[in-house]
Each structure stands twice: as structure tokens, then as C-alpha cells.
Structure 1
Amino acid sequence: MKRLFIHVIAILSAVAVVGCSQEELSPVLVIENPEPLAFNCGEGVIRYEVQNAARGISINAVSDRDWIGNFDYSVDGEIRFSVEDNSGGVRNANVTVTYGPADPVIVTIRQLTVAEAGAARIGIITQGPFTAGAEGGEIVLEYEIENHVPGQEITASSDSKWASHFEYPEYGRILVFPEANFYAEERKAVLTLSYPKADDITVEIVQKASESTEDPFFINVTGVSEVEATVSWFPADKEMTYVNGLTFKSALDAYDGDYEKYIEDDVEYLKGRAEAAGISLSDYLKQVLQTGDKGVKWSALEPATEYCAYAYGLSSDGTVTSRMVVARFTTKSPEQLDCNFSFELESSTASELSVKVLPDNSSVRYYAGIISKADYETAGSDQAIIDKIVDYIDEEIWFNSLYQIWKQWSDFTEAGASVVSAEKLFSDTEYYAYAFGLEEQGLVTTTFQKDLFRTAPLEVTDDCTFEISSEVSTSYMADFVIRPSNPDTKYYVSCLTTDYVLSYSMEDLATILINEADLYGYDWANGQYTFSGEQHLNSYGDLGIMPLAPSSNYTLVLFGTDADGNRTTEVFTEQFRTQVLVPSDMTFGLGVTDVSTSAVTLTCEPSRDDELYVLGCMPVSRYQDYGSDEAAISAVVEYWSNSSMYRVTRSGQQNLTADIDIFYDRIQPDTDYYVFAFGYMGAVTTGITKMRFTTPASDVPVSDASVGISYEILDGDALVIEDPYTYPPASWSGVAAAKFTISPGEGTAGWYFVTFTNSFGEIYMMPTDELIENVKRYGSYNKREALVKMNWYSSIVAVAVPEDADGVYGKPVIVEVVASYPGAYAVQDMPEMRPLVIENPDLTPKKCDLVQGEFILKGYENALKEDFDSRFDVTRRPAGLSGKPARRIYGIDTMSRPVSSLR
């Protein structure tokens, strides 16, 4: 670097110096201008030169700031000094350097902040290679950091979980603790060291292969059929705890041979189960880990499918103790039967089709159905259709078993000649009648066979025409004048988005509207959307259509019908567009009454009665998190747009009693809330009006007492075999049992425990003081274990309330339990009905009542389901039982007792 010098020359009384002798010249100080100092440099130096130096004179320096000191002049031409670390902003100090008679020189020392200190650099001191033994151990990495900042720490990360355990005992040292390597190949991991304002550096470590060649498990698979197999596990160490399971080979193949990653994901799943049960991982693993020899007979497997039975050692603290051993097997393919199907048209109308199915082998049982050609082509393969039908039947058998109705596969299949029919079809449209062999347990025994048919064209029986005009004066509704050419013609009116209308032909659109109305039992002769003669209708007031969206295109659709819902005329339409949104002048008078710890009555007096508004409440803290009135309104609209804004809109004066807020969270005691209102007519029409209120504190004190609930599902049949006197067959055969363990926490003197058959939502939404009273009234005190009888796949809710030594209650623990069959589940088909402690259940209604809706092609899945449901009179599922896991895998322990479900 080029040096800059400051020359300070004493002003001499004599102007001319030329010709003077050396002895006559005065000393002159020449100082090098120092560079700015780093925030943590520790030491600085001022370099100087004395011209015309004289004997007996010394250099000297003084600072005007106390963060510079300890000047050292031992090296000729250098003034060294100590500098304290700078933890604040940029700072300057003036150092005055003197040398006898020479003019003093003031040097400015500038010290930078951490932010201006420049880049750091990580350096590795320890020389590699870094190698660990198969048993694990410890690796020491020594490092140094140029421009190290006190208080800022180095961090290490790894691309492999087995090498991701680190300690940082002191600056300059990182300890790495590799996990044991149980496999016959060495493995490598790349560690990344990171430090603020420094480039990351990487270090590779290598772990030696295991010298052990003996497998920790022998896995034997016997009795393999199309849907069953018996798997036996024999660990070499009979005392070792281990995980055993069964999964699809395709699921294991996704790991590309990386069994360590599979185990890692498996352990994470078990951690999730423990957390959901409200207990520690150690306590959970003590319940589910296996020891000794185990055998499981699996059922409900998929035919012609590859599976993997596996096992690996795992201690109760979650430490992997052995490598994973895998045994692969393939279920048998169903025997294919010799059978061909022919199809003959029985009858065809514009909306119905009946086809006779004729198998040439009368002993073959088969499933038959009807699907449109267009929907069939969305399936991509015949096998996709077969798989869906098998799943539908499997689910229907399972669902009926919950109500002690024992259906068989033969209830859904035919033998010999049969007639398959479908109704509510599109006119003049191609449909396939199809059939395929299907036996018990879902075994498919023939190919998928089909034939093409066409429904009859619709015959218009009434030549009535309609003159329609529309007038739009607002952003949310329209007026229509309808003049039929025949005043006696009955006609049906609907209003839809134009995009939806244009997705169909007019004939198909009318069919869809008729079928939807039939679904709700519409009275075609006297229904509220059936008219005759000239009509002056308003979309909001007469047709009951909730406010339309502003600046949007809609279409009025109408057609003549008879008393049975058959279309009698052509389809007529009138397109219109709503106006831009005009803000409303509506105002709101808000209030609250009957405020309790868990409920409140919200009152609202709007300034006008002909517009809708949203009324509700939310915690002040949540409102403030949104940051503005506009953001809060947007949050409410976004939340309810998933179902329907009109579930929370009102009109006119209101006195609304609520035990939940606008987001379906329970009203809490001792909490600040806003009651609020804003106009909504297809879009937000006003700003928000809000008023603050506070719920009273609960008169039920809360202590730190705690309690945990864990459980396992047992098979009643196994209990009968084990102890028929305690568990008589009449009571325990064919049912499930939930075995509960209640574990008190520190500071808990006692607890109440009970199970309810109410839904989880009912229990969760119950006010805390009421819940505690019910648990005390119906529950048991200080019960550590309980066995509760259940129907398979039914649910109960377990509740425990702890109390401390002073009798003050702790927070209730609520756990929903579903009696899933004790066995293992394939990885990709883990059931959703797991027991969870839900802190904030989503109880938002999901049904949408809006008139607009984007058209989605029905597709083969929906088409098959509609056909299946109508043919076998499938009813709507209760909440929480919308469907069973797609393919259940059962496991019964063949050596001791039912195996707890690991997957």
C-alpha cells in the first residue's frame, strides 16, 4: 500500500535555508497516516520518522480517549499502543505525538464498528483425514477465525443425520459425535462450518464399515396368498427392543436403498405419535417396542403386490441400536376365470339407460356399472376404474360394520344375467356399460369389459318461447322481466356465473340443474323457483340469490318443466353484468350483554335493514396482529370464503348469543375482545365498526398440576382367548378395547378420569368449568389404568382433570380415541383417524351455498362414486366418518397378543 506522509516543518525565522550547515537545522516529525482500526484489533501502531534528530530527545504520545493507552516506543520508528474492543459505533481519538523542539503532530485514530469490520475467515487447524470407527466415538475439529467477533458463534451442520451431533466446548474446538454404523459399507458425511460474514467451509468425515456380518434379525414369511401373509421376526438378541412393520416395496424403493433415512423418518413418525398422545417419546416407545420372537398374520393385503417386512433395533430413548433387516415378498395374483360378458340394450330415454349383462360363465360373480364415455376417458386405464370400485365396496363394508351391519362382497356383485341401470343422465350422450369379475376380499378375476350405448335425444313437448330483459342498478342484484309466449307454461329459473354456463351445452346445463334440484327434493309443481305467466323478479328478493359479486358476468337460465321435473321447452338465457361496487352509507350501533367467561350476546343496530353485514367478535390481540382494519376485514373474508360468507352475515337488528368468535375459537375468560360489524353484499361495502369488551376471569383457579393420557387398542377376541372368565365371549367378542394409562405430572396430588361418547367438538367446546364438573361427576378419582369397550372404528373422548395439593385444578387433557384395528399400516396409507390432542379444531362448515362456482370436469372417480352410491343406496357419512383408510392392513399376533399399531 502506498504510504502517505504528513510533513510538519517548523517555521523558521530565516526564510532562506540554502547554504546553512546541517547542525543549524531543527528536528522535523514525519508521521504516517494510520489506516482505520478494526473493532477488535487489540493493538495499533503509529509509524514515524524524525528528520534532523538530536541526541537526548525522546518521542512521546498522549491520547485524548481512554480506550487507547499503554504506548510503547521500544521499536525505533514505531509507537505501539493498546486498543479496547469497540462494541458501539464508529469512534475517533486524537493522539498528540511530540519530539522535543519539533512541532507536535496530532494523529487521528479511527476505530470501526462490528458492522464495518469486514469479512471474517474460517480456517481449519486440525489436519485431516477425519475418520471415525464403526462404533461411533468422537472427532475433534480445531479451527480459528480471522476477524473473530466476541459473542458470535460458529455453527456446524451435516448432510447426514448420523453425523449431526455437535458440541462447542470452547472457542477453537468443535466435537463431532457420529452414530454407530451398523452396515457393511463405509459412509461419508460433509460438514459445513458457518460463521457470520465468513464464507462457509466444508469438511468431509468418513466412518468405517461395521465388521459384524451377522444379521440382527431373521424374518420369515409364510402363508402368502392373494391378500394374506404371516410374518415372523426372530431377533438374535432376545432382550433387544425393536420396531417391526410392513410396508409396500414401492414405499421402501423411494428411499433408494437408504435404510438409515427410512429409520430416521420412522422415528420421526413415532415422535409424532408420542406427542399426539401427550406423553414422552420414552414412555410411548415402552408401550410399542417389541422384544423376543414375534409373529403377525396380515390380512387385507393387495393382490399381486410386492411388500417389505422390516425390523430394526430401537431403544426406549429413541437411539437406533441395529441396522434394518428387510424381507421381501409378493402376494399372489388372483386366479383369472374364463368369462366373457355381452351387453344388450334393455331401454333408453333422454335421462335413463338400462343394459342387460350376459356372462357366458354363470358361476362367475361380477360387478357391473354404467359410466359416460367422456368420464371413462379421464381414467387413463381400465385398472384405475377397477381399483376405485374395489375401494368403494371395501369402504361400504367397513362403514356398515360400525353399525353391526355385516355386508359381504357378494352383496355388491351379481352372478348370471342381470340388468344394470342408471338415471339422471345427459340426453343424446354415449355411455359405457361395463363388467368385471369380482370375488370375496376384492379379488378381481376377469378383465374389464364394456360396450357403448347412447341415451335418447330429449323431445321438446312445449313450443313456448320466452322474452327476457334484465336491468342492473346495483353491484349485487338484478331485476328481470320474463314474458312467456304461453302463459300456462310452468318454467324453472336459476342464476349462475356466465363462466359456469358456458362450460356446458344448454341441454346438459338444464340436466344438471334438474338433477341438483331433485337431490334436494324440489317440488317442481309449486317450488319457489317455478313460475308461470309474466314475471317481474329480483335476484335477491324473489329468487333468494345471495348478493352477487360486483363487476361480474352472470346469466339467468330458464326452461319449461312438468310436475315431475322433466324439461318441456328449449333453454333460454339472459346475460348481464353487475355494476362496480358502490360503498354503502350503512352505520352500526354495537353493544354486548350477558358477558360471561365463555359466552356473550352481541347486539347490533344497523342504520338500514335492506343490506347485509358481518357481525362477530375476535380477540383484541388477534385483531392487533393484523395491523390494520383493512387486514382484519380481509382475514375474516378469506376465512369464510372457504364455506360461505353468508353464514356470518345478518340483516336488521340483531341480538346474537355466541360462545365462539368469528374464527370458531371458543370464547375465553379474562380476555379482551372486539365486537365488530362491516357491510357485505357480494363484497365489502363499509369500513369496520368495533367496540371493545372484556370477559370476566374464570372463577375456577388453574394450577400447574398436570396429567398425561396414553392408550393402546386391544382386540376383544384376543382378550377372550387370553382370559375368557374376565372377558366373557358374549361381551368381548368382535369388539375393541381401549386400554388407558393415566400418568400424573409433578405437583399433581390427584386427578379425575372419564371417557365420553360425545363428539370431540362437543367436549372441546364445552366451557372449562362445566367440563370439570362433568368429569368430576361421572369420572373416577386417581385411576391409573382403565379398559373401555368400543366398537371397531367408533370413537370416544377421554378427559383427565388434575389437581394439586390445595385442590386447585390444572388444565384438562382431552384425547380423542378411534378404535383402529391393532396392526401395522402401509407407509403411504397411514390412516388419518389418529388420536390427537387438538388445540384449535377446525369446525368451519364446509358446504358452499354460493351461486357461483368454477366448473370442474366430473371425471371417472366422481362418476363412478355417483353411480355406485345410487345403485346401492349409499347414505351420507356422519361427520368424522367420511371414509376409511384406502387399503387397511390388519395384523394379528400369532405368538402372544395383538401387536400395537406402529403405522
Structure 2
Amino acid sequence: MKNFLLLPLAICCCAACTQTPEPDDEPFVITFDSTEINVSAEGGYARAPYSFTGSRDNIASIGVDCPSSWITEKIYDVPGEIIVSVEANPDTTDRVAVLNVGWYGGSETVYVMQDGRDPSSPDIPDDGEDAIFEITVNQIKESSVIYSVYPSDTQMTYLNLLMDKASYDMFEDEDTRFANDMAYFNQVAQANGLSLEELLRQNLKTGNTIGVSVTSLTPDTEYCIYVYGVTSGAERLTGYVPEFFVTESVPFVDIDFDLNPTVDGNHVVIEAIPSDDTVPYVMDAYSGRGIDGEWLKESYQTYINDVINIYTMLGQSAADAVKSIAHVGPDAIEADLNPNSDYTAFAVSISLSGYLNSEVSTKDFSTGSAQPSDNVITIEITKLEPDYAEYAIYTTNNDQYALAALDSRQVEGMADDQIIAALINDNLITLVNGDVTGSLSPLAPGTEYVMFAFGYSGGTVTTGLVKEYFTTPSGGTSSVGAGRLNLKLDRETPVPVLTDYKINKK
């Protein structure tokens, strides 16, 4: 069974996400492809495509006024086109309607020019008799598309789906394709505790479906949007109506980077100087020496895709994800890495849609031994309740260190080096640097706890163990079990537990 790519299923139990508009300081200006729209005597939907500069938010400011009564519907919230519904012309003479299009900061006049009825054809054909569905595709980007569906029968229920053309062409006929569609819907229904009929009822459309936005497509790939009438009882009402399109290619950027790793023991600062200060890029380091640039590019693209997926689930755009990890102009990253180890630093440009689009620049380097730290770490418990505590950590420099907290009975009788080894081996530490604040929960009333801190860099302990004992007040209730305490930081952890990715911005 072929699974759908980005099937726009609406499962009621799932939360919907919305795209966050991207900031843009450019003035909002609309430019129509043409200010004259020609429509046949039979009427139908007329479209005036346009391009725009400035923020997408300003599309909401668009308004359309038309005094002609034969323009019965005006749709202008679809990015990239103004759509109007034109009645059939009962007269044999041509006619013209004036659309006054206004937006924040500008206006334009668009003319709808409709042919007169052919005198030799006295009966106007029934609107949409030959075309069951009309699909319009606009705003095709590297990884996204916006499309709309206009059925001739506004009461008929239908599905609108999308998959890559290669998958669409795998099926020998419509019956086989429909069987695959229903098998997939049935699988999704069972996974969500629904019947096939319930799931279809949630996803069936009637009337016009305007401005469907699909993201996470693959660049330079042909896709198929297809629509067909179907009932909630899985009875197909029409044939398939397909519409094909090809996503844009990712433009290749001619850029290179001068990479300069500065190593101090196992601490590294990697400076990147791009040949073009306007191009966004990413940089990082991977364990090993002499790693192939194309392999790095492919591997890091997987990491970026994961970041974008997380942002998408949170209602953010791919551009938001890219902006969170990208650099522009000369910049640097730093990290404490594994001591006495080889690494390959790399940099490569990235598009706002999240695709790496240049040759990869690389530079090998090796770390030295981790050096003892003279960081003086102080732990202070700033708030104490029966089931909750807040803390503040003060340091004398920015060297990396580890935090942890336990019920004091778990370390009773243990020497400091034994405690440190147990915390590391049981993965109970959180790596940070600099001054931090946070909280500990859930705690048990009337119980003694201990918070730990010690310098830790690249798998090497760099300071002695600092301990702060505290006892929660008696009283109150708690549902504390034997699980791990939640050690929460008031800010994002600035230093990750060591992985191949990702070194932090300096």
C-alpha cells in the first residue's frame, strides 16, 4: 500500500498548527500579471494572478469592490490571486466589469471582460457540466505549494489529496488507485480509534476549498494533486481529476568559507568568514578527520529536517527554524569537545526553506587534553516548599560544569569521587556554563536532598565536587515516587550533552 505524502488528514483529536508569518520590512506592493481578465460567455471563475513584495500579513488588508451584479463572488484571501465568480452572459454583446482592488498602501483597477453569447447557441451550457472539478495551483516554492479546488456540484462530497507523481503513476487504473486510497484511510482510522466512515466524514469537503497550503515537499520534484467525489460510506461518485506541478529547484550558491578553529585543551572556538556576507549558512563540527563534504552535507540535512519538523509541529515555519540555527556574515561557535580527539569543522550555505545549497568548506583540527578549571561554583537554595525548591548557581568563569540533585540517602556514605562517577554513569547530570537559576521537583515533605555541581568538560572532571544539602519543610502532600527529580533550568541549556552535533553559537 502506498502511503500519502503530506496527506491533509484532519483527525479531530489532533491539535491544529498555524504558520507564523515572517517579518518583512519591505513595503507591501501588489503587481498583477495582467489588469485584464477574459472570460467566456458561459462564465465561471475568473482569476487575476499577482505577485507581491513585503509581508504576507498584509494580504489581509486586500479588499475588492465591484458594482456589477453579474460578479457574484469575490475571493481575495488566497495569496497570489484575486478570484471572482462570473455569471453566464445571456446577451450576445460583450460586457466589462470593473474590479477596484485596494490594499494597505496602494490600489489597482482590474477589468473583467466577458464575451457575448454566440447567437447560434441559444442555450447556455450548464455551468461546470464538463469539468467536475477545477484545480488551480499557485505559489509553487522549493518545498511548498498553495492550491484551490472548485467543484461544479457544490453539494457533492469529495477528497483532495496530494502525492508525488511517480507514486500516482504506479496504479494501473482508477479502481486500483481508489482501493489504495481507502486502504490507507482505513489504516489511519484504526490507528486513531475511528471507523473508516468517521474518518472520511472528518475529511470530506463540499463547495470551494480555497488556499490549501502544503509544506515539506521535496525540491525539483513533480507532484500530483487529485480530487474525486466520494461518500462517507466509501462509495466513489466521480472519476479522478489530477493536476500536476513541479516544485522549484534549490538555487545553488557560489560561496566558500575560511574556517579557523582555535583550540585550547579540549575547548574549541571555530570562526567562519564567508566570501559573501549576505548569505545565511550553518557551521558545526563532526567527530573524525578528513570527512567527505558531500557526506557531511547529506548527514546535516537530516538534522535540519528534524529541526524543521519540530518547528512545524509548534506552528512555526521552515524559515523560523532556519533563522534559529543559521549565521550571516563572520561568526563563531564554541564548545568543549572530547579531549585528544580529531574533528572536521564545516560550513555550508542554507536556503530559508531549509536546504543546504553550496559546496561544503571543511577544516580538520584536533583537541588537546582537558585542563583543570579554576571555576569556583556556589550553590544557593533560594526558595523551599514541601514539594518544590528553587536554586541559583554562581560561577567565577564560563567553564562548563555539571549539575545534579538527589535524595541524600542515595549517596550516604559515598566519597566525592564515587558520587561523581555514579552521577555520570547513570546519566543524571545536566551540562551548563555561567550563572543559572532553576527549580527542583517533585520533592517529598520533610526530606533531605543534596544538589551537586562539578566542572566537567569533554568527559573529564575538571573541579572538585560542590554539595548543598537542604531539607524540605514538613506538611503538605506529595505523590513523589522513586523516579528521577526534574532539574529545570530557567533558560535553555547552553551546552548540550556531547553529541556529534551541535556546537553552540559563540
TM score, norm. by length of structure 1: 0.30
Q: Using CA pairs below 8 Å that are at least 6 residues apart, which structure has the higher relative contact order? A: 2
